[in-house]
Chains A and B, each alone.
Chain A
Amino acid sequence: MRKVTLPIILIGLLSACSHDRSQYIKETTLVETVNVRATVDTIRILLDSIGLNSYIDFSYFITSDKEYFLGRNNSGKCFDLFDLTSRKFVTHIFLKDENDLIADVKAVKAIDFDNILVMLRGKLLTIDSSGVIKQTIDLYKIMGADFERLGDPAVHNHFPLNYLPSEQGGTTLFYSHRSTSNYVGKDVVLEFDHNANKLTLLPIKYSPYYSDKDGYLGYLTYINFGDATIDYIYYNFAYESNLYRFNRHNQQSEVFGGEVHGVRPLATALESPNEDQQQWTTHAIENAHYFRPLYDQFRHLIYRPVWKDIKYEREDSYFNDFIDKNLVISVFDDHGMKPIANHTLPPMRYAIHKWFVSKDGLALSPTHPENKNVKKNTLELHVFRFEN
């Protein structure tokens, strides 16, 4: 009986996979008529004795027509400021009287020299480039008894600290972190109004696939915040190829296809509620991992990196790991959200998360852990310019 039942169930499971794909993945076709060329410019800046060759928390900003890069230097207990236009190191910024706070910094967002946002747990500081703390906003205090409903305002690599200026005073978006691990049906993005000092949940939820699988997607459960403009908030999810655009005016989200040929568009769900770390790791390696969409305001493009799926167990009895996953950058136009190019990066060269959009294109850090050409005394960035 079992001999007969098992193949039937397997057929059923295979059928479910294709059913999942058509049900949850928005179909798309690469617009092949657009001929997109990628050119690469290399920026190299010599470091002093405490500078780092890559930064986990960083921010890019433009002021007085010059481009700057600010990174948190945990070992140096400071922020490091670089002038990307002149390609030189500028200064270390030490926090006045509060230097130990650096270790607690979750993220940084520089608006200009006088306004650098620094996120601590539950607190948003504004410092200037001399390290003086100009303002401390206690988000927990603002939330008060509403904390349970709103969730803990959080930022991380998938949801970096951000700031959208406006005439009224600007907004910052946070991920609403909750004590439960299941976010089915919950709003997951918080908007902080700097002028009104108020936090509001936006009607942005996980996609239907997450809900239908009860969130059992292992490590791939992130919502990735892309960027915000006056009109839109771009976002996606680590477990699927779709792109989302939230319209700030009508408060509705639209979904767009972002499938890449040869890359799994939808992560498999874990079989049952489980905390088995070994299963989670295998699952995260064997499924594609979609990263946050980066909005290029200069060229009106969107870049969406994806880590391709890869078989965990190799035929030679050794194993692949996260470091073996190849990166593909998908390029979309911002108007129709149509994919116009997929660019496969050389293996084992670029670090994940350490990317940002600059005036000249998409900047990537060639500091993959297996890249033997990384120099400890140099901040190196490769700027990819995608053009018709």
Chain B
Amino acid sequence: MFFVLRINALFHRHIGLLLFFFTLACSDGSKDFVREDEIKRYLKDEHQFEHGDGEYYLILFSGHCGSCDDRSMALIQDLKKNKGVTRMGVVLHKDFSDHANLFKDSGVNVFHDTENRLLRYGLNLDRNVILVFDGDELVYWNWLHLDSFYDVRKDLDVGSES
């Protein structure tokens, strides 16, 4: 009984400190893209696609960030033009049929989520995201939102926006 009371008293007095230790005990300090396995599983199960060996660039259009879509499209163009990326795919939210047409004959793999299955893989994201794989390993990822394009372009060495 005393033990429980003591713990409760300790907790209420030092909640901040305990939470700090709890966070340390549970966190590995990394910023992983937590749905890495799910995006692979989504492509394999829903689109029968595996990117295989070598570098592969994947951009997911979430459907929730209208102002970012044009800049994501420009990034794709510059990845091809300035960096010579040839192995690339786009995952498109179900409402993006216009975008699907834009990629026609571009050499970019288009995975159009017409059946709204992304959310069943935990991939109903608020922002667009770019993922770069080297074989099975995710070597780079970042959100594509208004504040991050500069960093993404710098990280991937694609040049600045025109």
Contact = CB atoms under 8 A, between A and B. Distances in A.
Contacts of B18: 9, 12
A281 B11 contact: no
Looking at chain B's contact residues, the main secondary structure is helix
A270 to B, nearest CB: 11
Nearest to A323: B119
Looking at chain A's contact residues, the main secondary structure is helix
Interface stretch (B52-60, B73-81, B106-114, B123-131): B123-131
Given A12-B11, A321-B124, A6 B25 contact: yes
A105 to B, nearest CB: 16
The winner among B34, B119, B121, B125 for most chain A CB atoms within 10 A is B119
Contacts, number: 54
B21 interface: yes
Given A9-B21, A16-B15, A272-B23, A277 B124 contact: no
Interface in B9-39: 10-12, 15, 18-19, 21-23, 25, 31, 34-35, 38
A271 B11 contact: no
Nearest to A282: B122
B104 interface: no
Contact of A2 (B25, B38, B119): B25
A87 interface: no
Contacts of B143: 277
A127 to B, nearest CB: 26
Interface residues on A, range: 20 to 34
Interface stretch (A112-120, A182-190, A301-309, A312-320): A312-320
B119 A319 contact: yes
Contacts of B21: 5, 9
Contacts of A6: 22, 25
A8 B12 CA distance: 13
B114 to A, nearest CB: 14
A271 B122 contact: no
B7 A12 contact: yes
B23 A318 contact: no
Contact of A271 (B12, B19, B34, B126): B19
A9 B125 contact: no
A322 B23 contact: no
B82 interface: no
Contacts of A38: none
B97 interface: no
Interface string A150-172: 00000000000000000000000
B145 to A, nearest CB: 9
A271 B24 CA distance: 11
Contact of A318 (B19, B22, B25, B120): B120
Contacts of B35: 278
A277 B127 contact: yes
A161 to B, nearest CB: 23
B34 to A, nearest CB: 5
A9 B35 CA distance: 28
Contacts of A278: 34-35, 125
Contacts of A271: 19, 23
Contacts of A251: none
B21 to A, nearest CB: 6
B8 interface: yes
B11 A16 contact: yes
A12 B69 CA distance: 45
A6 B19 CA distance: 11
B19 A5 contact: no
Contacts of A281: 124-126
B126 A318 contact: no
A319 B42 CA distance: 12
Interface in B97-156: 116, 119-122, 124-127, 143
A15 interface: yes
B25 A13 contact: no
Given A277-B143, A278-B34, A11 B7 contact: yes
28 contacts: A2-B25, A6-B22, A6-B25, A12-B7, A12-B8, A12-B10, A12-B11, A12-B18, A15-B8, A16-B11, A16-B15, A19-B12, A276-B31, A277-B127, A277-B143, A278-B34, A278-B125, A281-B124, A281-B125, A319-B38, A319-B119, A319-B120, A319-B121, A321-B120, A321-B124, A322-B124, A323-B119, A369-B116
**5 nearest A-B pairs in the assembled complex, by CB-CB distance:** A12-B11, A321-B119, A319-B122, A318-B120, A9-B22
Interface of A: 2, 5-6, 8-9, 11-13, 15-16, 19, 271-272, 276-278, 280-281, 312-313, 318-319, 321-323, 369
